[in-house]
Amino acid sequence: MGFNRRAAPMAAASQSRPGWRLPRMIRFLLLLVLLTQLKLVACEEAEPAIPAANVSSTLVVLDKRACPTKGVRQPRSIDKLPTHVASLYERGTKTRSWEDCLTTGTKLLKDFRKTSPSDKRRLASPFKSMRSLDKWGWVQFREHKLSKPVYGKKLDPAFREKKRRVWPRFSRLYTSEHINCYIIDGKIRVPSNGIYSNVMNPESGVIIADYNFGPSIQAPDLPPSKLPKLKNWSDLVYFQWADACARAGITKRYLRYIYRANIINKDTLAIIARALRTKERTKFPSWSNRVTFSMTSTAGKAILGTLHGVGPGYLLTQHKAELGNKEITEVTVWDSNGPSEFDAKGTSVNLRFKVRNIEPLYLTCCEGPLETLESCNIKQYDLCYYRLINLSY
């Protein structure tokens, strides 16, 4: 019988092998999983360590597991809120009267006209950089969670209005959520679950407020001192608008209309109802019978001073350097489910604020003010849009 030279070394190796072993890669993965589990247990048992030299201007990235949740009531989850709601609330239950709204609206109209460098600095928001989102625990998503806006197709008749067209194919849904812990003055702050979900359409020059619940509403048990300073709708929406314009390659200054969709706040609805009575209306009108109030009228100023009007107002007054000198000239009111009684349930009242440049800007293709673009038909629109992308201010 012949001798197999190849079989001999293999047999010797099999006899010297101590036993069956896992491949090296599998052993490494198992060890990694074990170390991760041990780290999780240690994080849950240990108290969160706060750097002694940490100050409010220092940005520290925290793991959500390090949040001091013991003894703190967690904010309401957005999943528990009604899916049809699309309204912006503010802290407190104090009722805003007609006189209060009129005073606020009048002040905003005066601030629109303050265009000197000193006034711009005085009115400017302290939040101008995207880094502010991380510092105060906010996370901004694009096309996040909501596959489509909450308002659905209720605003389609307004989008199709001649000279005020909104092109839905350019719409982008942005959501800013307050879900991260953050450190301020050496103390860990818990997130409030605040959420601002809005539609940006830079090509049409339109912002649509869709689904908004601020930190004070999502976390009613947190005192004002423990709420993030970056909490206002106007600031969060500015960051959304800036990102959308950067992605589209369009200047941030091209802003024509701001929509407030599906309003359910009782104070705002009461002010709108009183404003409609000045026009001898006894119901919230449908789109075909919509009512427009000029900002020179008392009713228009009062609507601007409501909780749903101050957001667009502060957006324009506090970001003049980025958006240009703009003002709101009129507001249109209608009910997507109208006509409806003022005290009826199931209303879907909307507001549309018209934004105008105080100092007209010009397009070379239209040879007129920037607002001329809204009157272009689809063929002219492509040419104007091309010019708009290449504008520099």
| pLDDT one-digit tens code per residue, 141-158 | 887 544 578 888 899 999
Nearest CA-CA partner of 105 in 391, 336, 321, 351: 351
Region of residue 254 (left: phi > 0; alpha: psi -120 to 50; beta: else): beta
When pLDDT is averaged across residues 7-15 and rounded to a whole number, the result is 48
Q: Identify the band that residue 20 occupies on the pLDDT scale cut at 50, 70 and 90.
A: low
Q: Identify the band that residue 282 occupies on the pLDDT scale cut at 50, 70 and 90.
A: very high
Given a cut of 80, is residue 37 above it in pLDDT?
no
Q: What percent of the chain has pLDDT over 70?
A: 69
Given a cut of 90, is residue 384 above it in pLDDT?
no
Predicted pLDDT at 184? 86
When pLDDT is averaged across residues 261-280 and rounded to a whole number, the result is 93
Comparing 169-183, 232-246, 371-385, the range with the smallest average pLDDT is: 371-385
Give Rg (Cα) of the chain. Answer: 28
Predicted pLDDT at 147? 58
Q: Identify the band that residue 221 occupies on the pLDDT scale cut at 50, 70 and 90.
A: confident
Q: Identify the band that residue 178 occupies on the pLDDT scale cut at 50, 70 and 90.
A: very high
Given a cut of 80, is residue 180 above it in pLDDT?
yes
110 within some domain: yes
The alpha-helical segments, DSSP class H, found in 249-318 are 266-277, 298-304, 307-317
Predicted pLDDT at 360? 61
Predicted pLDDT at 381? 46
Predicted pLDDT at 352? 97
Predicted pLDDT at 24? 78
Cα separation of 229 and 216, whole Å? 11
Q: Is the pTM of this model over 0.85?
A: no
Given a cut of 80, is residue 65 above it in pLDDT?
no
Contact 275, 293 (CB under 8 A): yes
Predicted pLDDT at 141? 85
Give the bridge partners for 331, in sequence order. 293, 353
Predicted pLDDT at 94? 58
Highest-confidence segment of 118-122, 142-146, 292-296, 369-373: 292-296
83 is written with which tokens?
């899916």
Nearest CA-CA partner of 308 in 45, 86, 70: 86
Predicted pLDDT at 16? 47
82 within some domain: yes
Cα separation of 315 and 253, whole Å? 12
When pLDDT is averaged across residues 175-203 and rounded to a whole number, the result is 91
Cα separation of 385 and 170, whole Å? 12
When pLDDT is averaged across residues 36-41 and rounded to a whole number, the result is 55
121 within some domain: yes
Contact 187, 50 (CB under 8 A): yes
Higher pLDDT, 203 or 29: 203
Q: What's the number of domains the chain is made of?
A: 1
Cα separation of 18 and 199, whole Å? 65
Whether omega before 339 lies within 30 degrees of 0, making that bond cis, reads yes
The CB-side HSE value for 81 (13 A sphere, CA atoms) comes to 17
Contact 118, 157 (CB under 8 A): no
When pLDDT is averaged across residues 316-339 and rounded to a whole number, the result is 94
Predicted pLDDT at 284? 95
Given a cut of 70, is residue 111 above it in pLDDT?
yes
Contact 210, 149 (CB under 8 A): yes
Domain with 157, as residue range(s), is 78-357
Predicted pLDDT at 225? 87
When pLDDT is averaged across residues 209-225 and rounded to a whole number, the result is 89
363 within some domain: no
